[in-house]
Chains A and B, each alone.
Chain A
Amino acid sequence: MVNFLKNFFSFGFNEDGLSHWIWQRISAFLMILLFFWIIFSFQELSNNFIIDFNTWIKIPINLILFIVLFILIMHHSTLGVLNIFEDYVQSEKIKKFFSILLKIISFLIIFISIFSVWHIYSEII
């Protein structure tokens, strides 16, 4: 049980296949809910999308859910691409190298996006 929890809270990033599988499903399920939310709330924005987006993101709950959604997207897709490496890259060394590279890129994308969204949020209207 302790071992299971330890694997579980690696968020799918250690070598354990079960936790990878579970986290891929958890993030998928949460993303379904959040994508329905974001698609329906974007429907209410007018044609001038950027200006509306700027005011939309200034509502705290929108900001928080948007950031959560973005982290989930990157988590889910990073796990997905890691799985492709697992299936098709034969050498352990090359696999390791690309896994680390992928994690760095994903982290940078998350960082840039959240930083930008936070900047829009904290701008004076």
Chain B
Amino acid sequence: MKNNNRPLSPHLQIYKPQITSVLSISHRFTGIILYLSTFLISLWLFSIAFNNNLKIFLDNFFYSNLGKIILFFITFSFTYHFLNGLRHLIWDFGYGFNIKNVYLTGFIIIFLTLTINIYIWFF
């Protein structure tokens, strides 16, 4: 018999916000933003190859404030997802699992993400 009552992951509201859970949820959330941003990259490549008007439109859009905010979210998501991904890979090799290290690497990642993004956008 087909079981249509599959167990699900606990929904997000169930977690008490703390650095471990917030970072984990952010990892997924930034992943979704990055997936959506591939649409833009694809559109941008298409415009370079085939449609000059679209390219001019995209250039103007990404120089506008809204475009810059979107780009900021993309670079922010990218740096965060990249660094936290490295942390996940280190975990996969079995290192850094005790709670002290989890907190420490978590704070390091937040610090690095902010530093890199401030560097990208203000220098």
Contacts and interface: CB of A to CB of B under 8 A. Distances in A.
A12 to B, nearest CB: 15
Interface in A5-41: 25, 28-29, 32, 35
Interface in B1-34: 2, 4-6, 8-9, 11, 28, 31-32, 34
Given A119-B50, A120-B48, A77 B34 contact: yes
Contacts of A117: 45, 49
A116 interface: yes
Of the four ranges (under 10, 10 to 19, 20 to 34, 35 or more), the interface on chain B belongs to 20 to 34
Contact of B41 (A25, A84, A113): A113
A68 to B, nearest CB: 15
A77 B31 CA distance: 7
Q: Which of A29, A77, A88, A120 is the most central at the interface, judged by chain B CB atoms within 10 Å of its CB?
A: A77
5 contacts: A28-B85, A112-B45, A115-B49, A119-B49, A120-B48
Interface secondary structure of A, over-half rule: helix
A55 to B, nearest CB: 12
Contacts of B34: 77
Given A92-B2, A117-B49, A73 B38 contact: yes
